[in-house]
Each structure stands twice: as C-alpha cells, then as structure tokens.
Amino acid sequence: MAEEAQNRLSVTIDQLPELVGKTFGPSSWQRITQEDINLYAEVSGDHNPIHVDPEAGRNSPFGTVVAHGYLTLSRVVPLMAEVFEVTEIGSGINYGLDKLRFPAPVPVDGRIRLHGTVTDVKEIAGGYQVHADLVWDVEGNDKPACAAQQVLRYYR
C-alpha cells in the first residue's frame, strides 16, 4: 500500500501571505527506476555512464547506478502537487531557483520524497511571489538527495 502525503497546505491566493514559516510535506515516496533514468538520459542527452551503465555504476564511488541530479529535481512537480496547492488563481508558474544542491545520490530503484518551508511571500503585480526551501529526502540516507530554494509566482 502506498504511503500518503502528510501536512498538505492548500490555500487560496489571498491566503498566501499567511504562509511564511509554514511547513508542508513530506510527500509520499516515489521510486526512481532504471527505466526512468534511461528515459531521462535520452531526453536530456546526459549519458554519463554512472547513470546508464551498471558496470560503471558498480565501479563508481557510489557502487551502483545513480539517478541524474536534474532528474531528481524534475520530480518537484508531482511531489509538490501532493503537498502544496494554491487555489483561486489564473495561473501559477515556476519562476526559478535561488540555490540548488545535490548532497547525496539517489541509487537506482531508490525512493525520494519532498518537504519544504515557505520562507517569504511578496506581493507582485497581479499576484504573489512565493519562496520555499525544498528538500528531497532519499530513503536510507541522512543527507538529502536535493535541496533547493524555489521561487513560484501565482497570478489572479
């Protein structure tokens, strides 16, 4: 049975300023398979052997094939959708990242989940800009797979 996400934040656009300091998540665990890694390698053009070649992975410092850092980052959309929702909007966009790090690898068939904290909300023309510190846990590792300061914009 799949584990459900915890601590879901769901607010209207007008409630966004109240979220500073609020935490959300963790999401449910999501497995990253070799098929996911291979498909990402095809789309991104990143065919580094530590991602796609089991022998190279075994001989790497990680001892196995590992997911691309940017593949882990790309899972932000489905994982965030489980734990963070803004309603009564015209549109929402990913405005970018202020900081991004990949402290620990995600081994093939490893599982990740996401949690975060809203650190700032500023009014902008037509809506709000939200800053959130995000962390992707990797199951079985004390270090996170990814840590990022994400910037989102929500428009009426």
* Domain harbouring 151, CATH code: 3.10.129.10
In-domain check, residue 39: no
pLDDT reported for residue 3:
57
What is the three-class DSSP state of 64? coil
Helix or strand run (H / E) with residue 150: strand 146-155
Angstrom distance (rounded) from CA 99 to CA 62? 24
- Domain extent, residue 89, equals 9-32+67-155
- Is residue 107, in this structure, part of any structural domain at all? yes
User: For residue 24, what are the β-bridge partners?
Assistant: 116
What local confidence, expressed as pLDDT, does residue 48 receive? Answer: 95
Quote the pLDDT of residue 4. 61
Alpha-carbon distance 111 to 4, whole Å? 14
| Structural domains in the chain (count) | 1
Q: Would 41 be classed as within a structural domain? A: no
Position 9 scores a pLDDT of: 95
Asked, for residue 58, whether it belongs to a domain, the answer is no
pLDDT of residue 82: 97
pLDDT of res. 5: 66
pLDDT for res 6: 78
* 99 found inside a domain: yes
Residue 108 lies in a domain: yes
Is position 40 within any domain?
no
Inside any domain, residue 102:
yes
Using CA atoms, how far residue 148 sits from 13, 39, 60, 81, 114, in Å, is 23, 24, 25, 16, 11
Parts of the chain with a pLDDT under 70? 1-5
